[in-house]
Amino acid sequence: MSKGVGFRPQLLPPQGRQLQRSRRPLLTCLTVCGCIAVLVFVLFGLTAYNIYNNRFKRNQHHYHAGDMVSMLQASTDLSATFCDAYEVQPLNRTDFYLLPSRAEVDPVFRKNRSFSINMRPGRGPMYLYQVHHLLIDTSVSLRACRELRDPVSALEEVPAEFLIITGHDHFEEWKKHFNNKHVLHRVSIPKNASCDNARSSLPHFNFTVKHSSDYHFLLVQHRHKTHHRFILPGDINLSGNISSTRYNLSSAISVCNASQRSCRFPISWGSKKDVVACVLGNGDSEDTSVSFVTDCVERMAFWVPVFGALPVLIVCLTSLGCSYVLVINRSVESRYRRLPNSGSNSHASYGAISQDEPALPSAAASTAVMSDEEDGCASIQDE
């Protein structure tokens, strides 16, 4: 009795499924490259826009007569990396000096100037102020008093004080919220602090500047709700004397006078050049505020490679990496497709039968053969 082979259906390899699997790495590679390209260009574009818009657009600066300002220290638009040149436009009486390195304070030179603030309490704004850009080692002396008509009128005086705030951002925050955490110093002005009294008895404050910055001197009134409307309080005066230092300009490379409409200073790559603005003021005018415009001329040799060529290079390298992975995947698939059909039947893919093998007998033929064998055995026994 021969051993049966069993039922083995003739299976064909799923050609459609193989085709879909071979296309899947290509679609994945294209998707990954597209997402990375969009992400890279968006990030580099937003970074370039923020840097240019927040730091290197045309800026208008406001200062006062007598101020000396180092643009490298006081402004953000002067950079030896991003700027190929620095353009200035003196709208008022302002001279500009190009220095080979960061500006340094001359400790010997001193220039005295004074200012005053006069407030009419109960009838004006809540505060008046002046701002001055002071350098290191500058000495400041402040003194406040009231113009009293008689001792009785002191009872109707409005509470007041003077403050010192450093930095433009701190001053803007104080104006919005009246938060005193950024106040450098505050002095209350008593109601009996008459200007006729001895100067030594008046509220005062003296200090020396430790950090170059914008110093805001404010005269603030606190209106009283029970103030009699027929009795007007006396004026409040705040006077200040400034013994200011200045920058050493003896090593200036180039000078732009106030009479010139605009000037352009070249800024070499990696240098520490500085531009100093010397504010002269408006002559005999009471308004001491002065403004000028600065502009950073872009260094295209830096902007184009960093924000143009670099993102393109990143996208190209990503595409090459995906292409390499795709080629490796193709080589692995082709290696399995080239397996030999000779040998054992287990080498055939997906259980397919080789064309050289004989076809299996059907179930009916197998039954007939087995019946003949049984009859043969029976006849032998009869014999």
pLDDT at 308 > cutoff 60: yes
pLDDT in tens, 136-178: 999 999 999 988 765 555 556 788 899 999 998 899 999 888 8
Residue 28 lies in a domain: no
The average confidence (pLDDT) of the chain is 77
Residue 53 lies in a domain: no
Q: Which residues pair with 292 in a beta bridge?
A: 61
Torsion of CA 375, 377, 382, 383, to 10 degrees: 120
Supply the range of the domain harboring residue 279. Answer: 58-305
pLDDT in tens, 352-370: 444 444 444 544 444 444 4
Core vs surface per residue 92-112: b (16+ CB within 10 A) or e: ebbbbbbbeeebebeeeeeee
In Å, what is the CA distance from 271 to each residue of 82, 99, 167, 267, 342? 12, 11, 27, 7, 76
pTM for this prediction: 0.66
Residue 12 lies in a domain: no
Strands 183-189 and 204-208, how do they pair? unpaired
Residue 357 lies in a domain: no
Residue 63 lies in a domain: yes
Q: How far apart are CA 357 and CA 340, in angstroms?
A: 15
Residue 239 lies in a domain: yes
Quote the number of domains for the chain. Answer: 1
Residue 88 lies in a domain: yes
At residue 344, the 3 state secondary structure works out as coil
Residue 230 lies in a domain: yes
Torsion of CA 24, 26, 29, 34, to 10 degrees: -110
Q: Which residues pair with 139 in a beta bridge?
A: 208, 243
